[in-house]
Amino acid sequence: MAEKKIRMSAQGLEDLQNQLEYLKNVRRKEVAEKLKEARSQGDLSENAEYDAAKDEQGLLEAEIADIEKKIELAEVVSDEDLSTDEIGVGSRVKILDIALDEVLDVQIVGSTEADPENNKISEDSPLGVAALKKKVGDTIEVEAPKGIIEMKILEISK
């Protein structure tokens, strides 16, 4: 069974590639130096620094493998692929929260780029799922911990 592609912007892919390069070229050397230093302290069976450095090395290698997998599965969504008629990954959307009479200005992004503090909402989030493939004027219902929130799509842009 083929693995699901991870949709992201070109910038999101570049950010992952930069992070991977940093982890491989900088962090690996730092952790290797910690291991070398801890080994030089003698008996490894009771060496807490050595154990901590080995744990850190394991976590680092797992993170590197995770990022490599995301890059392998990346499907870049370019601005040319975006429609202003229908919401997709990469779309910038103005949505009215009907109950609060408040307009949200968000971008729907792939799960690896989600950053709610900067209004980047994952396509897999309740809002992202409800908004995908909708058009200007559509009303959507978003499942939230406090209940169903009704929202109206006001504008879609690239």
Domain harbouring 100, CATH code: 3.10.50.30
In a domain, 64, yes or no: yes
Q: Tell me what percent of the residues of the chain surpass a pLDDT of 70.
A: 96
Closest CA to 108 of 1, 4, 5, 8: 8
Cβ pair 105, 94 in contact under 8 A:
yes
The pLDDT of residue 38 is 83
Is there a single domain that holds both residue 32 and residue 66? Answer: yes
The pLDDT of residue 80 is 73
Is there a single domain that holds both residue 102 and residue 117? Answer: yes
Is there a single domain that holds both residue 72 and residue 99? Answer: no
The pLDDT of residue 12 is 87
Is there a single domain that holds both residue 94 and residue 149? Answer: yes
In a domain, 1, yes or no: no
Give the H/E segment covering residue 92: strand 92-97
Tokens representing 24? 């491989």
The pLDDT of residue 77 is 83
In a domain, 96, yes or no: yes
Cα gap 158→151, rounded to integer Å: 20
Domain harbouring 12, CATH code: 1.10.287.180
Under-70 pLDDT residues of the chain? 1, 43-45
Structural domain tally of the chain? 2
- Longest CA span, the chain: 70
Domain-terminating residue out of 22, 46, 76? 76
In a domain, 135, yes or no: yes
CA distance to 115, 116, 130, 153, per residue, from 38 (Å): 37, 40, 52, 58
CA distance to 20, 21, 41, 71, 91, per residue, from 15 (Å): 9, 10, 38, 10, 19
Domain range enclosing 126: 81-157
The pLDDT of residue 135 is 95
